[in-house]
């Protein structure tokens, strides 16, 4: 509930997470959204303070080319990040949550930065249903950004 109601950047640290200064931040995106300067400037400030690198991660269920609007949004993001440590990563995987979890583990990611409007994705990534209770599915801190 905090993720959607609080309209400022929010750091969510799951119960089993160990917080460290984030040197590697993943930014999952489908490139359908145009990210406003407010979001990007907040992200850039956090990167600068912590001397972090940003890993822009795009995953699709099957391999496909970006649409013209996706390509435009990707190019805008690329231009914004031009003088900041970053890289773009593309992957096809039937399970987007598993692909992100695997990417986090393989690349020593310390933080996930996501836009709050992706709340359904947050819920799938953070919580996994169990018979008795809902438990956290990840141990990586989240930075929730608002437009």
pLDDT band at 126 (very low <50, low <70, confident <90, very high): low
| 118 pLDDT above the threshold of 90 | no
What pTM was estimated for this model as a whole? 0.84
Q: With b meaning 16 or more CB within 10 Å and e meaning fewer, what string describes 51-82?
A: ebbbbbbbbbeeeeebeeebeebbeebeebbe
CATH topology of domain 2-145: Rossmann fold (3.40.50)
Task: Give yes or no for residue 38 having a pLDDT over 80.
Answer: yes
Q: Give the mean pLDDT of the chain.
A: 83
Q: CB 103: neighbour CB atoms within 10 A?
A: 19
Over residues 117-132, the mean pLDDT reads 51
pLDDT higher than 80, residue 117:
no
- Looking at residue 46, its pLDDT comes to 96
Q: What is the mean pLDDT of residues 8-32?
A: 89
* pLDDT at site 12: 83
Task: Tell me the pLDDT band of 75, cut-offs 50, 70 and 90.
Answer: very high
Q: Give residue limits of the domains in the chain.
A: 2-145
Long-range own/partner contacts, residues 118-123 (CB < 8 A, 24 or more apart): 118/28, 119/3, 119/4, 121/28, 121/96, 121/97, 122/3
Q: How confident is the model at residue 7 (pLDDT cuts 50, 70, 90)?
A: confident
């Amino acid at each position: 509930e905090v993720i959607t109601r609080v309209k400022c950047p929010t750091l969510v640290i799951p119960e089993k997470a160990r917080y460290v200064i984030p040197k590697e931040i993943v930014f999952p995106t489908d490139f359908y959204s145009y990210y406003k300067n407010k979001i990007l400037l907040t992200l850039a400030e956090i990167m600068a303070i912590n001397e972090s690198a940003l890993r822009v991660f795009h995953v699709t269920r099957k391999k496909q080319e970006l649409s013209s609007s996706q390509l435009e949004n990707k190019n805008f993001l690329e231009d914004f990040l031009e003088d900041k440590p970053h890289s773009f990563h593309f992957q096809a995987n039937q399970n987007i949550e598993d692909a992100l979890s695997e990417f986090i583990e393989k690349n020593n990611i310390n933080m996930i930065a996501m836009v709050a409007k992706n709340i359904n994705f947050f819920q799938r990534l953070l919580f996994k249903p169990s018979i008795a209770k809902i438990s956290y599915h990840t141990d990586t801190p989240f930075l929730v950004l608002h437009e």
